[in-house]
Amino acid sequence: MTSIDPTVVIERMAGRLRAAGAPHPVSGAAAVAARGHARMGQGEFAEQAELPVSVVERAERGDTAFGELPRRIGSGVAATGADILALADLEQTWRNQPPLV
Amino acid sequence: MTESDDPINEIMAGMAAGDAAFLFAFIEAYGPKVRWVVRSILEGMGRFDIVRNADELDGLTLDACDVVFRRAGGWKPGGAAPWNWAHKAIRADVARGIGHRVVELNTDDDRDSEVGHYGGVVSDLAADDLAVLITRHPRVGVLDRAIRSVGSERDQLVYWEYRIQQGMGDPSPAHTVGARFGLNPDNVRQLCRRHGKRVWSVITADPAFAELRDHGWFAA
Protein backbone atom coordinates (compact mmCIF):
# COMPACT_ATOMS: atom_id res chain seq x y z
CA MET A 1 0.00 0.00 0.00
CA THR A 2 1.31 3.44 -0.94
CA SER A 3 2.01 5.87 1.88
CA ILE A 4 0.45 9.29 2.10
CA ASP A 5 2.87 11.94 0.80
CA PRO A 6 4.44 13.50 3.94
CA THR A 7 4.82 16.83 2.14
CA VAL A 8 1.04 17.02 1.75
CA VAL A 9 0.55 16.16 5.41
CA ILE A 10 2.99 18.87 6.51
CA GLU A 11 1.40 21.43 4.20
CA ARG A 12 -1.96 20.68 5.71
CA MET A 13 -0.64 21.02 9.26
CA ALA A 14 1.08 24.24 8.24
CA GLY A 15 -2.21 25.61 6.99
CA ARG A 16 -3.59 25.30 10.50
CA LEU A 17 -0.59 27.02 12.08
CA ARG A 18 -0.88 29.78 9.51
CA ALA A 19 -4.56 30.23 10.28
CA ALA A 20 -3.56 30.51 13.95
CA GLY A 21 -1.19 33.34 13.04
CA ALA A 22 2.17 31.55 13.30
CA PRO A 23 4.90 33.59 11.59
CA HIS A 24 6.63 30.48 10.17
CA PRO A 25 3.86 27.91 9.81
CA VAL A 26 5.61 25.58 7.39
CA SER A 27 8.77 25.22 9.43
CA GLY A 28 6.57 24.81 12.51
CA ALA A 29 4.62 21.98 10.92
CA ALA A 30 7.83 20.42 9.64
CA ALA A 31 9.25 20.46 13.18
CA VAL A 32 6.11 18.77 14.49
CA ALA A 33 6.38 16.16 11.74
CA ALA A 34 10.03 15.52 12.59
CA ARG A 35 9.06 14.66 16.15
CA GLY A 36 6.09 12.60 14.96
CA HIS A 37 8.37 10.62 12.69
CA ALA A 38 10.58 9.94 15.72
CA ARG A 39 7.47 8.93 17.75
CA MET A 40 8.57 11.03 20.70
CA GLY A 41 7.03 13.52 23.07
CA GLN A 42 8.56 17.00 23.21
CA GLY A 43 10.69 16.27 26.29
CA GLU A 44 12.16 13.07 24.92
CA PHE A 45 12.74 14.60 21.51
CA ALA A 46 14.48 17.66 23.00
CA GLU A 47 16.67 15.45 25.14
CA GLN A 48 17.62 13.21 22.24
CA ALA A 49 18.35 16.29 20.08
CA GLU A 50 20.29 17.88 22.95
CA LEU A 51 18.11 20.97 22.80
CA PRO A 52 16.17 22.85 25.44
CA VAL A 53 12.47 21.95 25.33
CA SER A 54 11.70 25.63 24.84
CA VAL A 55 13.59 25.59 21.53
CA VAL A 56 11.56 22.64 20.31
CA GLU A 57 8.36 24.31 21.49
CA ARG A 58 9.19 27.54 19.67
CA ALA A 59 10.03 25.68 16.48
CA GLU A 60 6.77 23.72 16.62
CA ARG A 61 4.73 26.85 17.29
CA GLY A 62 6.08 28.24 14.04
CA ASP A 63 8.18 30.93 15.66
CA THR A 64 11.43 29.82 14.00
CA ALA A 65 12.23 30.42 10.35
CA PHE A 66 13.12 27.42 8.20
CA GLY A 67 16.76 28.48 7.88
CA GLU A 68 17.07 28.89 11.63
CA LEU A 69 15.76 25.51 12.66
CA PRO A 70 18.33 23.68 14.78
CA ARG A 71 20.29 21.15 12.78
CA ARG A 72 18.88 18.20 14.74
CA ILE A 73 15.34 19.26 13.94
CA GLY A 74 16.29 19.86 10.32
CA SER A 75 17.67 16.35 9.99
CA GLY A 76 14.46 15.07 11.59
CA VAL A 77 12.46 16.89 8.92
CA ALA A 78 14.59 15.29 6.22
CA ALA A 79 13.96 11.88 7.77
CA THR A 80 10.21 12.26 7.22
CA GLY A 81 10.83 12.03 3.48
CA ALA A 82 9.06 15.33 2.82
CA ASP A 83 10.15 17.49 -0.09
CA ILE A 84 12.09 20.19 1.78
CA LEU A 85 12.42 22.44 -1.26
CA ALA A 86 8.68 22.38 -1.85
CA LEU A 87 8.07 23.20 1.81
CA ALA A 88 10.56 26.06 1.80
CA ASP A 89 8.95 27.36 -1.35
CA LEU A 90 5.52 27.27 0.28
CA GLU A 91 6.86 29.17 3.29
CA GLN A 92 8.31 31.78 0.97
CA THR A 93 5.07 32.06 -0.99
CA TRP A 94 3.00 32.51 2.13
CA ARG A 95 5.45 35.08 3.49
CA ASN A 96 4.88 37.16 0.37
CA GLN A 97 1.11 36.97 0.67
CA PRO A 98 -0.99 39.09 3.01
CA PRO A 99 -1.61 37.39 6.36
CA LEU A 100 -4.84 35.50 6.92
CA VAL A 101 -7.38 37.47 8.93
CA MET B 1 4.28 -8.61 20.09
CA THR B 2 2.14 -8.14 23.17
CA GLU B 3 -0.80 -5.78 23.23
CA SER B 4 1.18 -3.21 25.24
CA ASP B 5 4.02 -3.25 22.67
CA ASP B 6 1.69 -2.42 19.82
CA PRO B 7 2.85 0.97 18.47
CA ILE B 8 -0.75 1.97 17.82
CA ASN B 9 -1.26 2.29 21.58
CA GLU B 10 1.49 4.91 21.96
CA ILE B 11 0.33 6.80 18.89
CA MET B 12 -3.30 6.84 19.99
CA ALA B 13 -2.27 7.95 23.49
CA GLY B 14 -0.27 10.81 21.96
CA MET B 15 -3.23 11.80 19.80
CA ALA B 16 -5.57 11.57 22.78
CA ALA B 17 -3.31 14.13 24.49
CA GLY B 18 -3.83 16.42 21.48
CA ASP B 19 -0.23 16.13 20.27
CA ALA B 20 -0.22 16.78 16.50
CA ALA B 21 3.15 15.04 16.15
CA PHE B 22 1.35 11.78 16.83
CA LEU B 23 -1.23 12.62 14.19
CA PHE B 24 1.68 12.76 11.75
CA ALA B 25 2.93 9.44 13.13
CA PHE B 26 -0.55 7.94 12.73
CA ILE B 27 -0.81 9.07 9.12
CA GLU B 28 2.70 7.87 8.39
CA ALA B 29 2.11 4.42 9.87
CA TYR B 30 -1.56 3.79 9.23
CA GLY B 31 -2.60 6.22 6.50
CA PRO B 32 -2.85 3.40 3.92
CA LYS B 33 -5.21 1.45 6.17
CA VAL B 34 -7.40 4.51 6.67
CA ARG B 35 -7.30 5.14 2.93
CA TRP B 36 -8.55 1.59 2.38
CA VAL B 37 -11.50 2.28 4.69
CA VAL B 38 -12.27 5.58 2.93
CA ARG B 39 -12.01 3.87 -0.42
CA SER B 40 -14.45 1.14 0.59
CA ILE B 41 -16.88 3.77 1.90
CA LEU B 42 -16.69 5.67 -1.38
CA GLU B 43 -17.18 2.47 -3.36
CA GLY B 44 -20.20 1.65 -1.21
CA MET B 45 -21.60 5.05 -2.17
CA GLY B 46 -20.87 4.36 -5.81
CA ARG B 47 -18.34 7.22 -6.01
CA PHE B 48 -15.74 5.44 -8.13
CA ASP B 49 -14.90 8.80 -9.72
CA ILE B 50 -13.37 9.95 -6.41
CA VAL B 51 -11.67 6.60 -5.82
CA ARG B 52 -9.87 7.07 -9.14
CA ASN B 53 -8.69 10.57 -8.15
CA ALA B 54 -5.63 9.93 -5.97
CA ASP B 55 -5.38 13.50 -4.66
CA GLU B 56 -9.02 13.64 -3.69
CA LEU B 57 -8.87 10.19 -2.12
CA ASP B 58 -5.83 11.20 -0.04
CA GLY B 59 -7.53 14.45 1.00
CA LEU B 60 -10.51 12.50 2.30
CA THR B 61 -8.13 10.06 3.97
CA LEU B 62 -6.41 12.91 5.82
CA ASP B 63 -9.84 14.20 6.89
CA ALA B 64 -10.57 10.70 8.19
CA CYS B 65 -7.29 10.70 10.13
CA ASP B 66 -8.40 14.00 11.70
CA VAL B 67 -11.62 12.28 12.74
CA VAL B 68 -9.61 9.59 14.53
CA PHE B 69 -7.36 12.28 16.07
CA ARG B 70 -10.32 14.17 17.51
CA ARG B 71 -11.83 11.00 18.95
CA ALA B 72 -8.62 9.32 20.10
CA GLY B 73 -9.45 9.88 23.76
CA GLY B 74 -12.35 7.44 23.50
CA TRP B 75 -10.36 4.59 21.98
CA LYS B 76 -9.35 1.66 24.19
CA PRO B 77 -6.15 -0.35 23.58
CA GLY B 78 -6.89 -3.90 22.58
CA GLY B 79 -10.21 -2.98 21.00
CA ALA B 80 -11.01 -2.60 17.35
CA ALA B 81 -8.41 -0.93 15.15
CA PRO B 82 -9.03 2.85 15.33
CA TRP B 83 -10.16 3.07 11.71
CA ASN B 84 -12.76 0.35 12.35
CA TRP B 85 -13.72 1.75 15.74
CA ALA B 86 -14.34 5.19 14.20
CA HIS B 87 -15.82 3.81 10.99
CA LYS B 88 -19.20 5.42 11.44
CA ALA B 89 -17.73 8.86 12.16
CA ILE B 90 -15.32 8.49 9.23
CA ARG B 91 -18.19 7.56 6.99
CA ALA B 92 -20.17 10.58 8.13
CA ASP B 93 -17.16 12.79 7.44
CA VAL B 94 -16.66 11.30 3.98
CA ALA B 95 -20.36 11.72 3.26
CA ARG B 96 -20.24 15.34 4.32
CA GLY B 97 -17.04 15.90 2.37
CA ILE B 98 -18.54 14.71 -0.88
CA GLY B 99 -22.09 15.88 -0.27
CA HIS B 100 -23.57 12.42 0.15
CA ARG B 101 -26.87 12.18 2.00
CA VAL B 102 -26.82 11.48 5.72
CA VAL B 103 -29.47 9.89 7.86
CA GLU B 104 -30.80 11.03 11.22
CA LEU B 105 -30.16 8.31 13.74
CA ASN B 106 -30.30 9.91 17.17
CA THR B 107 -32.83 8.73 19.67
CA ASP B 108 -33.22 9.46 23.35
CA ASP B 109 -31.47 6.19 24.08
CA ASP B 110 -28.19 7.13 22.44
CA ARG B 111 -28.12 10.80 23.41
CA ASP B 112 -24.90 10.33 25.38
CA SER B 113 -23.15 7.98 22.99
CA GLU B 114 -20.48 8.78 20.43
CA VAL B 115 -23.29 9.04 17.92
CA GLY B 116 -24.86 11.76 20.03
CA HIS B 117 -21.64 13.75 20.17
CA TYR B 118 -21.56 13.96 16.43
CA GLY B 119 -23.61 17.09 16.14
CA GLY B 120 -26.98 15.43 15.90
CA VAL B 121 -26.62 14.15 12.37
CA VAL B 122 -24.78 10.97 11.60
CA SER B 123 -24.44 8.69 8.69
CA ASP B 124 -26.03 5.33 9.33
CA LEU B 125 -23.63 2.64 8.23
CA ALA B 126 -26.33 -0.01 8.45
CA ALA B 127 -28.93 1.96 6.55
CA ASP B 128 -26.79 3.13 3.66
CA ASP B 129 -24.41 0.24 3.18
CA LEU B 130 -27.17 -2.25 3.77
CA ALA B 131 -29.20 -0.60 1.06
CA VAL B 132 -26.34 -1.31 -1.34
CA LEU B 133 -25.86 -4.84 -0.03
CA ILE B 134 -29.57 -5.59 -0.26
CA THR B 135 -29.60 -4.47 -3.88
CA ARG B 136 -26.74 -6.80 -4.71
CA HIS B 137 -27.71 -9.70 -2.45
CA PRO B 138 -31.45 -10.20 -1.94
CA ARG B 139 -30.78 -12.62 0.92
CA VAL B 140 -29.36 -9.75 2.95
CA GLY B 141 -32.71 -8.02 2.47
CA VAL B 142 -34.51 -11.06 3.88
CA LEU B 143 -32.07 -11.11 6.79
CA ASP B 144 -32.65 -7.39 7.40
CA ARG B 145 -36.42 -7.91 7.44
CA ALA B 146 -36.05 -10.75 9.94
CA ILE B 147 -33.78 -8.70 12.21
CA ARG B 148 -36.15 -5.74 12.07
CA SER B 149 -39.25 -7.86 12.68
CA VAL B 150 -38.60 -8.11 16.43
CA GLY B 151 -37.47 -5.86 19.26
CA SER B 152 -37.07 -2.12 19.49
CA GLU B 153 -35.41 -0.05 16.78
CA ARG B 154 -32.43 0.47 19.07
CA ASP B 155 -32.03 -3.28 19.65
CA GLN B 156 -32.18 -3.88 15.90
CA LEU B 157 -29.47 -1.28 15.30
CA VAL B 158 -27.27 -2.59 18.09
CA TYR B 159 -27.64 -6.11 16.76
CA TRP B 160 -26.76 -5.08 13.20
CA GLU B 161 -23.78 -3.02 14.38
CA TYR B 162 -22.53 -5.86 16.55
CA ARG B 163 -22.70 -8.27 13.63
CA ILE B 164 -21.05 -5.77 11.27
CA GLN B 165 -18.19 -5.13 13.69
CA GLN B 166 -17.79 -8.87 14.20
CA GLY B 167 -17.74 -9.39 10.44
CA MET B 168 -15.05 -6.70 10.08
CA GLY B 169 -12.80 -8.59 12.46
CA ASP B 170 -13.32 -6.44 15.54
CA PRO B 171 -11.91 -8.56 18.39
CA SER B 172 -14.20 -6.88 20.88
CA PRO B 173 -17.41 -5.83 19.13
CA ALA B 174 -19.35 -5.52 22.39
CA HIS B 175 -16.96 -2.77 23.55
CA THR B 176 -17.05 -0.95 20.23
CA VAL B 177 -20.82 -1.09 19.90
CA GLY B 178 -21.30 -0.37 23.59
CA ALA B 179 -19.24 2.83 23.33
CA ARG B 180 -21.24 3.87 20.31
CA PHE B 181 -24.64 3.35 21.85
CA GLY B 182 -23.78 4.24 25.45
CA LEU B 183 -24.24 0.65 26.64
CA ASN B 184 -22.18 -1.58 28.89
CA PRO B 185 -20.41 -4.32 26.84
CA ASP B 186 -22.10 -7.02 28.93
CA ASN B 187 -25.45 -5.47 28.10
CA VAL B 188 -24.56 -5.42 24.41
CA ARG B 189 -23.72 -9.13 24.46
CA GLN B 190 -26.89 -9.93 26.39
CA LEU B 191 -29.01 -7.75 24.10
CA CYS B 192 -27.53 -9.38 21.00
CA ARG B 193 -28.01 -12.89 22.38
CA ARG B 194 -31.62 -12.08 23.23
CA HIS B 195 -32.31 -10.35 19.94
CA GLY B 196 -30.63 -13.17 17.99
CA LYS B 197 -32.89 -15.74 19.72
CA ARG B 198 -35.98 -13.72 18.90
CA VAL B 199 -34.93 -13.39 15.28
CA TRP B 200 -34.30 -17.12 15.16
CA SER B 201 -37.80 -17.79 16.53
CA VAL B 202 -39.26 -15.73 13.73
CA ILE B 203 -37.08 -17.46 11.13
CA THR B 204 -38.15 -20.92 12.25
CA ALA B 205 -41.84 -19.96 12.51
CA ASP B 206 -42.32 -17.85 9.40
CA PRO B 207 -41.93 -19.52 5.98
CA ALA B 208 -41.01 -16.11 4.52
CA PHE B 209 -37.67 -16.49 6.27
CA ALA B 210 -37.13 -20.17 5.51
CA GLU B 211 -34.06 -19.46 3.37
CA LEU B 212 -32.27 -18.12 6.46
CA ARG B 213 -32.57 -21.33 8.45
CA ASP B 214 -29.08 -22.43 7.49
CA HIS B 215 -27.55 -19.01 8.25
CA GLY B 216 -24.45 -19.27 10.42
CA TRP B 217 -25.37 -16.30 12.60
CA PHE B 218 -28.19 -18.21 14.22
CA ALA B 219 -26.53 -21.60 14.53
CA ALA B 220 -26.45 -22.95 18.10
Query: CATH number for the domain including B40?
Result: 1.10.1740
Asked if A32's CB is within 8 angstroms of B27's CB, the reply is no
Chain B positions touching A12 (Cβ under 8 A) are: 62
How many A×B Cβ pairs under 8 Å? 59
State which fold the A6-95 domain adopts: 434 Repressor (Amino-terminal Domain) (1.10.260)
Residue B33 sits at the chain A interface (C-beta within 8 Å): yes
Instruction: Identify which of B10, B20, B61 has the shortest CB distance to residue A39.
Output: B10
Domain boundaries of chain A, sorted by first residue: 6-95
Question: B121 and B62 share a domain?
Answer: no
Single out the residue of A61, A68, A67, A77 nearest to residue A22, CA to CA: A61
Instruction: Supply the range of the domain harboring residue B35.
Output: 1-100
Q: How far is CA A54 from CA A60, A63, B14, B22, in A?
A: 10, 11, 19, 19
- What are B103's strand-pairing partners? B122
pLDDT in tens, chain B (220 residues): 555 678 999 999 999 999 999 999 999 999 999 999 999 888 888 888 899 999 999 999 999 999 999 999 999 888 889 999 999 899 989 988 887 544 433 333 333 333 333 222 233 444 556 666 677 677 888 888 899 899 888 888 888 888 877 776 667 778 878 877 888 888 888 898 889 888 998 998 998 888 888 776 765 4
Asked if A32's CB is within 8 angstroms of B21's CB, the reply is yes
In degrees, rounded to 5, the angle at the alpha carbon of residue B96 between the alpha carbons of residues B92 and B98 is 120
B121 vs B111: CA distance, rounded Å: 12
Q: Is the pTM of this model over 0.90?
A: no
Chain A nearest C-alpha distance from B89 (Å)? 21
Instruction: Identify which of A4, A36, A40 has the shortest CB distance to residue B62.
Output: A4
ipTM for the predicted complex comes to 0.95
